[in-house]
Amino acid sequence: MNADGRTRLNQTPEWTALAKHREELGDIRLRELFAADPGRGGAYSLRVGDLYIDYSKHLVTDDTLRLLRELAAATDVFGLRDAMFRGEKINTTEDRAVLHTALRAPRDAVIEVDGENVVPDVHAVLDKMADFANRVRSGEWTGHTGKRIRNVVNIGIGGSDLGPAMAYEVLRSFTDRSLTVRFVSNVDGADLHEAVRDLDPAETLFVIASKTFTTIETVTNATSARSWLLDALAEEAAVARHFVALSTNAEKVAEFGIDTANMFEFWDWVGGRYSYDSAIGLALMIAIGPDRFREMLDGFRIVDEHFRTAPAESNAPLLLGLLGIWYGNFHDAQSHAVLPYSHYLSKFTAYLQQLDMESNGKSVDREGNPVDWQTGPVVWGTPGTNGQHAYYQLIHQGTKLIPADFIGFARPVDELSDELKAQHDLLMANFFAQTQALAFGKTPEEVRAEGVPQELVPHKTFQGNHPTTTILAPELTPSVLGQLVALYEHKVFVQGAVWNIDSFDQWGVELGKVLAKRVEPALTEGAEVEGLDASTRALVAAYRELRGR
């Protein structure tokens, strides 16, 4: 029992029923589940927008799914969902609304925060972004010397980098190929160096992306970028043509020296990791154009509406969230792999890492009580087929249970040559083969029947029973990207709601920031830092010696 008299999550009848069900299922086998129900493949699937989601290869029965939905009902996931969509301040530790869904609301929608409809502001900023993006793309917006802008460098970190950088990669085939678009995030000076070393400052636009405009990495890189520009262009007035800001903090933007007329605003009810469809997407919009950007927002909206209105039985984010809970809380799975079979999705899992792990990497509940159940998983993965030749061995034959999402597309992108398009079937043959091998494995009898000598049989046996979700879409378009991202956003929401944690704060990143500020003078000046532990003190001394200080 909590201090406030509420039953702890893991003492609720719904949780206990799931634990008992898990015990009763024992070593349930996917081979048996499919043998018992030949229609399972189609029956355990959903269609949402352009996405076909197959969840048949999961260690679940109808009873499991029912019990999971009962847990969602008992934890009032849909109640919290409705509160989020209404603009209530469900991010309680920061006293903020959570309204990334308003970023893709239609013009005529009404969504109020503190009694104010935020939708007109959202569209005013989108229109301002579109106007600016068109001017850069057409050459009407020039640099200080009158030269056309040919390079766009986004400087930001976390949500102000991962989202636009990921989406730029995903939608590369929709980008204006005459523009060079790069993303700088790391405070390691090498990042900025490599991004600008071959660029002409007179043709380069810096997009400084920071919700708070106080993030040390971004402010430091932006300052260095300004020096790089001014070293070449020599006049302070050049900054106004070569720097724009994306932020919620006009005061800090002005303090930095960027004219707030060149600032694209967003709001405190947009979390950093939920922000790339806000002004934070400006570099992306310049690259793909406003129309494609709006198509992407339409895609988000399809899944928002689905999540908001679909019944529990066919609600895809609810289902995916609950499946994660089934493995994390009732099978002790520690991680979750996301394995896209698309080169263009090379940064997708890295993006999801922040979305999921910064949201649900929490160990106290909304009321501040320690949780005694597992929360967010470690999210990892890279595109197939590359991963197959690296770490899939461990997923197939290692000792860990690793549920995985496979994301694939029926058609290759238009831009590829016919010969390269033909490779797509080979890519997808691997995609389907992997989920099949993971689910059904290969028994010792099957291995023996191939004439394998007995001593090698254990080595060549695949246990199978590794659960996967398959997400298949017709092709990779801006809308499909929006649908995929919204699907994961709401999946993460569902899990946080069940675990009763605040998925929208990120206090866990603060301590490191404070300590870095304290340690820096010890590195640069050898300053004595009060209270520094013995290990760090010795490391600082070693660093200074190696650095020649």
What are the CA-CA distances from residue 429 to residues 12, 41, 51 (Å)?
A: 44, 18, 19
CA atoms within a 13 Å half-sphere pointing along the CA-CB vector of 263? 22
Nearer to ligand F6P, 272 or 290 (CB): 272
* Residue found by looking up tokens 């010397």 in the block: 145
Nearer to ligand F6P, 96 or 137 (CB): 96
DSSP 8-state secondary structure symbol assigned to residue 280: G
CA distance 401 to 328: 10
CA atoms within a 13 Å half-sphere pointing along the CA-CB vector of 100? 26
User: Which one of 20, 331, 400, 513 is the catalytic residue?
Assistant: 513
Structure tokens at 75: 């934890």
Cross-strand partners of 338: 405
Angle between helices 290-309 and 316-330 (to 10 degrees): 70
Contacts of 443 (CB under 8 A, 6+ apart): 461
CA distance 128 to 264: 8
What are the CA-CA distances from residue 101 to residues 89, 183, 272 (Å)?
A: 14, 25, 14
Cross-strand partners of 409: 473
* Residue found by looking up tokens 């303090």 in the block: 255
Nearer to ligand F6P, 91 or 315 (CB): 91
Contacting residues toward ligand F6P, per CB under 6 A: 157-160, 210-212, 215, 218, 272-273, 358, 506, 509
Cβ at position 510, least distance to ligand F6P in Å = 8
Q: How large is the C-alpha radius of gyration of the chain? A: 25
Helix H, strand E, coil C: the string for 232-269 is: HHCCHHHHHHHEEEEECCHHHHHHHCCCHHHEEECCCC
Identify whether 513 is a catalytic site residue.
Answer: yes
**Can you say whether residue 503 is alpha, beta or left, with left for phi > 0 and alpha for psi between -120 and 50 degrees?**
alpha
**Can you say whether residue 154 is alpha, beta or left, with left for phi > 0 and alpha for psi between -120 and 50 degrees?**
beta
User: Which one of 169, 217, 358, 489 is the catalytic residue?
Assistant: 358
Identify whether 442 is a catalytic site residue.
Answer: no
Nearer to ligand F6P, 434 or 506 (CB): 506
The answer to whether 478 and 295 have CB atoms below 8 angstroms apart is yes
Nearer to ligand F6P, 185 or 315 (CB): 185
Cβ at position 275, least distance to ligand F6P in Å = 7
Cβ at position 219, least distance to ligand F6P in Å = 8
Residues making up the chain, counted from first to last: 549
Structure tokens at 512: 């490191």
Identify whether 100 is a catalytic site residue.
Answer: no
CA distance 183 to 277: 16
The answer to whether 481 and 296 have CB atoms below 8 angstroms apart is yes
CA distance 140 to 134: 8
The H or E element that residue 210 is part of is none
The answer to whether 255 and 235 have CB atoms below 8 angstroms apart is no
Contacts of 64 (CB under 8 A, 6+ apart): 18, 21, 25, 326
Indicate which residues carry an active-site annotation.
Answer: 358, 389, 513
